[in-house]
């Protein structure tokens, strides 16, 4: 028996993505950085894909291109977060 059922694993994935979105929104509320908007967009797209996979798991077989788009959304999220980190670090360096 698995430690977690597939339904719980999917639910946790969606909840974690929502938590990341909330954290990014709180950071954006404070700093209003364009990089954070980019990270928010990437994570929102990834969340949409997670929800689609939970609701319609057969979409994987019918539309394999979705995984490529999902990976690109993760790249957009990472780029936005990295850009924000560099921007924040350069502001604090004397």
CA of 87: how far to CAs of 18, 29, 37, 72, 74, in Å?
24, 16, 13, 22, 20
Identify the residue with better confidence: 20 or 9. Answer: 20
Number of domains in the chain: 1
Assigned domain for 17 exists: yes
Assigned domain for 48 exists: yes
Question: 40-69, pLDDT tens digit by residue?
Answer: 999 999 999 889 888 887 887 788 788 888
Assigned domain for 15 exists: yes
pLDDT exceeds cutoff 70 at 30: yes
Identify the residue with better confidence: 70 or 57. Answer: 70
Which range, of 2-11, 39-48, 80-89, averages the lowest pLDDT? 2-11
Domain that holds residue 25: 6-92
Assigned domain for 14 exists: yes
Say how far apart CA 11 and CA 68 lie, in whole Å: 22
Assigned domain for 1 exists: no
């Amino acid at each position: 028996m698995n430690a977690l059922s597939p339904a719980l694993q999917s639910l946790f994935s969606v909840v974690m993505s929502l938590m990341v979105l909330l954290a990014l929104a709180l950071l954006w509320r404070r700093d209003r950085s364009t990089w954070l908007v980019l990270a928010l967009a990437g994570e929102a797209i990834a969340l949409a894909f997670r929800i689609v996979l939970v609701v319609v798991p057969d979409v994987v077989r019918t539309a394999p291109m979705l995984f490529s788009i999902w990976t690109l959304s993760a790249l957009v999220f990472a780029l936005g977060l990295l850009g924000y980190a560099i921007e924040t670090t350069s502001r604090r360096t004397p």
